Amino acid sequence: MSSSTFCELDLILVRHGTTQWNREKRYVGHADPGLLPDAEGELGALGQRLRGMCFAKVYSSDLRRCTETLRLAAPQLAAEAVLDERLRELDFGAWDGETYESLKDMQLYRSWLDDPRCVTPPGGESLEHFEGRLTGFLKSLLEEILVENRSGAEGIPAVLAVTHGGVIRQLAALTVPGLDFWSVQLSPTGMAGLRLRYEDGWIMGSWLRNI
């Protein structure tokens, strides 16, 4: 892509509904708990918001808490969703299901909190790998943008991704100047967005706080 050519995309991000592990403040990475039995209640408002929105493409993490969120909140969108492993939460390895209280006296855990770029949870995923798969997802969206532009579509296309809190934070940190992992706080079933600009091999984002 030349420096004079750019594409823009609105990536609408939804955090999945609440699981029992979320309620218990446990780390939930690649473990696959489902939503709470009364999930329909908290997903009602999300469904109302999604009902009036149009998307060029719908993606979801393949983990159950995300697919259930999409199916219960917006079954019409769930039918067309692409399940993508790259949208999974960070893999916490042996720490999946643990809490801060159960890990706080472990030196390796303390070191990970201090410098997650240099420490990896035992049996888990490095921050470098996590960032790599999310960057790969963002780059793959560019092909969809170009297809839409060639077909004569006008305006900025929107893509929906139902995913995890850590994924949303990391996507913002990767693309929006001035934001880091802890800058974004999104509750279960929360919705936010990134306006992504692809230009000359770079991906630059701006944070859409109100959707």
Query: Would you name the residues annotated as active-site residues?
Result: 16, 89
Q: How far apart are the first and last CA of the chain?
A: 30
Between CA 141 and CA 198 the distance in angstroms is 10
Please say whether the beta carbons of 66 and 44 come within 8 A: no
3-state secondary structure 121-171: CCCCCCHHHHHHHHHHHHHHHHHHHHHHHHCCCCCCCEEEEEECHHHHHHH
